[in-house]
Each structure stands twice: as structure tokens, then as C-alpha cells.
Structure 1
């Protein structure tokens, strides 16, 4: 066996050992089919409503932030308005609105654009003991700070202050809700981490940091970052290592076979599993790695095929019939 094939064999052995070690790690991290515990994908911030206050129908705003594997974030939620607040602001005629005031995400800029969330019409339950009104928020996508193209090392940040209000002519009247809670229910591949002050949320090394930046956020301000779980990164690593098998086989074999086709099918399956189909030709950084693997396998297969064909022509010209 040539030294090159011995090196390939040793590399293949190390590859298999890495795959099995990754598999054992994921097996130990498994929690009822989840990548880690269920609580690792959820978090909350704000002021939760006590059981007594909920029974009395106190003012309450609950926001729910969710996302999917590709890092697209959605906001939904529900709203409970007490009878006192409903009558005080005459919400039977005044349309209740919700705006999300973004928190500062960098020291070099101050956000000025507000996100408007549509509140469905309030529905009063006059037969209940608290006679409160209820409404749901219309689900909508939200813009977060982060680069999805950095998959699987993509991280996201989102910080805001929700404010309920209504319009009285041209005047904007803000409602003061004490109980505002945000529930972060991320997909199985993400971990949400709450940030408690501006320094932790912005996370920039700069001389612009002031003492007031270390002050904690207010009770109605919510800031968090979302990171990929280590166990999910191991899954991605395992799938990429599996793609290396046809790449190594095309170097090991003297005759080109179906290695190129196997690589195409493998890349398509892995890409579809991790990111889904290509949308509007949006490419991730990992797509260039997939392309490099396809090009490398195709190039090696083509060079070997051309070399074999050249040898066959030389043998035919020399009168050999073994080809």
C-alpha cells in the first residue's frame, strides 16, 4: 500500500472515531428527543402576573417570541384589560394599539424606528366575575440584530420596551400596564439568554461605555440574545463529516465511480435538512463549503477519468489489448 493510501486510511479511522465520539455526546445530551433539556430553549423577562391578580382580571400584557431553524423570529401574544381601565380610557370606541420601542443595540447609533403590533378588537366577558376584556395580538415577524448567513454560529439580539396606547385626535395617550411579561420559546436548536443591562446587551469593547450603562433595565424593558446550542453544532459537524466519506473514497479508489453523484445527493440532503430549500438564492456561509466539496470531488473524479482514458489510448496505440 502506498504512503498516500496509508495516510488516507489513518485519516478515515480518525474520522470514524470523531463521528462515534460525537454520537455518544449527543446520546448523553438527549432529553426525550430534545437537544438538551426543554428549559434550555425557553426564558422569560418582565413582571409576571400573580395568581391573585389574574383571578381579579388585572391589566396584563403577555408577549410570545418564537423562531424557527433558519433564525426567523415571530411575535404574538395576548392582552387582558380590566374593567376599570376599559371604562377609564373608553376602549369601546378608542382603538388600542401597541408599539415596541427598540433598545439601543450599539453605542454608535440610537434606534428611531418603532415596530407597530396590531391589537385585535377587545372582547368583553361581562358574565365573568372580573368583567375584563381580552384581545390577541396579530402575529408578525420582528427584525432582530444578527446574521443568519453565519449558520451554525449565528447569534441574534433583540431588545425592546412595549407600550400600549390609543389616539385621541392627534394626541397619543400611553397606558401604564404594571404586568408585562415576555415569553421566549425558541426552537430546539437555540438557547435564549436574558441581558440585564446595556453593557451586556450591546457587548462591544469601546471607550463610549458610561457608568449609567451598567444600570439594570427597567421592569418593562426586555433584552436577550439567542445562540445556537453546542449539541446542535455537533449535529452539523457530524453531517459535514459524513460528507467527507465520498470525498475520501474518491481519493482512495483508482477508478472513478458514483462518488460525485453520492456527493451531490449527500449535499442536497444535508442542506435541505439544515436550512431547507434555497429561497431567492440566499446563500449561507456553509453553502460555500458544500460547493467546495462538490467541486473537489468532481475535479478529482474528472482527473482520474482523464488519466485512465489517456492510459487506454496509449495502450491501444502500443498494441496492448489488456484495456
Structure 2
């Protein structure tokens, strides 16, 4: 056996061992048909809502942040207003509004544009025991800092300060809600980590800036760093190695044309599973890995086809049987 064949055999054996070892690792992390823990992608910050009988009698705002596989985030939620607050600010004729003020994301970040959220009309229950008004927020996409194209090493930063307000004449009046909660209800492939001070949220070090220069976040200021779980990155690696199996077969086959087709189908299926269908030619970093695998299989297949054709031509000229 030639040196090249031995090296190829060792690579194939190592690939199989990694795939089977990773399969066992992933299998052990499956619980009740769900990969990982159901609450892996959940976290919250702020002041918790009132409990018990005071739940409807006190003012509180709840925001819920969800995500898609394409790295897009959306926020929704609901609001409860007590009768006292409703009458104080005359919310029957003054529209209740909500703005999300972005937190400073870097040392030089000073121009911050708030995001507006639409609050649906308040449903009044003042004749009931609860004596409150309630409304849902209209869900909308929310801007987060990060690059989805770096999948599966994409890291996002969510940081906002929710502020409720009304416009009375020409004056903007901010409402003071003690209970404001932001809940991250993300895919369990993501891991949100709350940040308690700006320096941690910036994720950057500078010898010119001291920790005492920035005060910790207040209860109504929520900052999260969101990244992929390590176990999910292992799954992505395993799927990439699975795509490499047709490449290994192409080295062993004399006529490996079917392996090129298998690679195309495998890449399309895995890409759709991981990041969804191609949208407006939005290319991820992992797409270049897929492209490299397709080119490698295509190159090996074409070279073997050319060599096989040359051998057949030589056999035909010499009159021997192929």
C-alpha cells in the first residue's frame, strides 16, 4: 500500500471516530425529544412583576424578545396600568406610547436613536375586582448589535431602556413604572448572559477608561450578550464533517460522479437546516466552507474522470480490452 493510501486511510478512520464520538455526545444531551434544556435560551432582567392580588393593581410592563435562525430578533409584550395611573395621566384621551432607548454600546457611541413600539388600545376593567387597564404591544423587529454572517460564531448584544410616555400638548411626559421586566425567550441553541455594567457590555478593554467612570445599570436598563452554545457549535462541526464523507468516497471510487451529486444534495439540505433558505443572496461565512467542499469533490471527480478517459483511449489504441 502506498504512502498516500495509508494517509487517506488514517484520515478516513479519524473522520469516522470523530463522527461517532460526536454523535454519542449529542445523543446524551437530548432530553424528552428536545436538544438541551428547554430553558437554555431564557433569561430575564429588570424588576419582576407584582405577585398575588397586586398583579393587576400595580403598574408593570413586560417585554419578550424572540429570535429566528437568520439572526433576526423581535420584541413583543404587554402592559398593565392601574386605575390610579390611568386617571392621573388621562390615558383615555392621551395615547400611551413606548420607546426603547439603546444603551451605549462602545466608548465612542453617543448618537443613539430610540426604537418606537406601538401599544394597542387599552382594555379597561375598572368595573371588575382588578380595576386595571391592559394592552398588548405590537410585535416588531428589534435592532441588535452583531453579525449573523459569522454563524455559528455569531455574537449579539441587546441593550435597551424601556420608557413609557405620553404627549400632552407640546410636552412629553415620561411615566415612572417600578416593575419593568425584559425576558429573553430565545432558541435553546443560544445562550443569553446578562451584563450588569457598561464595560462588560462594551466587550472591549481600554487602559484609558476606568470601571468607576461608568455606573452599573439601573433596574430598568437591560443588557445581554447572546452567543451560540458550545454544544451547538459541535453539531455544526459534525454536519460539516458529514458533508465531507462524499469527498472521502470520491478518493476511493474509480468513477465518483455520484459523489458530486450527493455532495450538492447534502450541502443544500444541511444549509437549509442550519440557516434557512438563501435570501437575497445573503451569504454567511459557513457558505464558503460549503463551497470549498463542493469544489474539492468536483475537482477530484473531474480529475478521476479525465484520467479514466485517458486510460480508455490508450487501451483503445493498443487494442487491449478495458
Provide TM-score, normalisation by structure 1: 0.96
Verify the 8 A CA contact 1:144 1:157 in the aligned structure 2: yes
Please say if 1:244 is aligned against 2:244.
Answer: yes
Match runs of 1:1-323 below 5 Å: 1-52=1-52, 54-213=54-213, 215-320=215-320, 322-323=321-322
Distance in 1 separating the partners of 2:99 and 2:128: 29
The offset of 1:211, in angstroms, is: 3.3
- Tell me if the contact between 2:57 and 2:132 (Cα under 8 Å) persists in the aligned partners: yes
Return the alpha-carbon distance in structure 1 between the equivalents of residues 36 and 223 of structure 2: 23
Structure 1 residues not aligned, in runs of 5+: none
> CA–CA distance in 1 between the matches of 2:28 and 2:54?
40
Root-mean-square deviation (CA, aligned residues, Å) is: 1.4
User: Per-residue deviation at 1:205?
Assistant: 1.5
Counterpart secondary structure, 1:105: coil
CA distance in 2, matches of 1:55, 1:262: 58
Contact 2:126 2:132 in 1 (8 A): yes
- The CA deviation at 1:38 is 2.0
Cα deviation, 1:50-108, whole Å, max 9, x if unaligned, reads 31463452001000011122221010000000000000000000001000010011112
Task: Please state how far the C-alpha of 1:129 moved relative to its aligned partner.
Answer: 1.3
Q: Distance in 1 between matches of 2:213 and 2:220?
A: 17
Question: Cα distance, 1:40 vs. partner?
Answer: 1.8
Partners of 1:197 and 1:213 within 8 A in 2: no
Question: Residue 35 of structure 1 contacts residue 231 of structure 1 at CA under 8 Å; is this kept in 2?
Answer: no
> Is contact 2:96–2:164 with CA below 8 Å preserved after alignment?
yes
Which stretch shows the higher mean deviation, 144-153 or 255-264? 255-264
CA change 1:196–1:213 in 2 (3 A) is farther
Q: Is the partner of 2:152 in helix, strand or coil?
A: coil
**Count of paired positions:** 322
Q: Structure 1 pair 55/290, CA: closer, same or farther in 2 (3 Å)?
A: closer
Distance 1:116 1:14 in 2: 54
Give a deviation string over 1:200-221, Cα, whole Å, max 9, x none: 1111022342333553200100
State how far apart, in whole Å, the 1-side matches of 2:265 and 2:113 are. Answer: 45
Helix, strand or coil at the partner of 2:273: helix
Map Cα deviations across residues 95-130 of structure 1 (whole Å, 9 max, x no partner).
010000100111122242110000101110123213
Q: Deviation of residue 15 (structure 1)?
A: 0.8
CA contact (8 A) 1:47 1:178 kept: yes
Query: Which secondary structure state, in structure 2, belongs to the residue aligned with residue 62 of structure 1?
Result: strand
Change (3 A) 1:212 1:170: farther
Q: Is the 8 A contact 1:125 1:131 kept in 2?
A: yes
Deviations 1:202-254 (A, max 9, x none): 11022342333553200100000111011111111111111111111111223
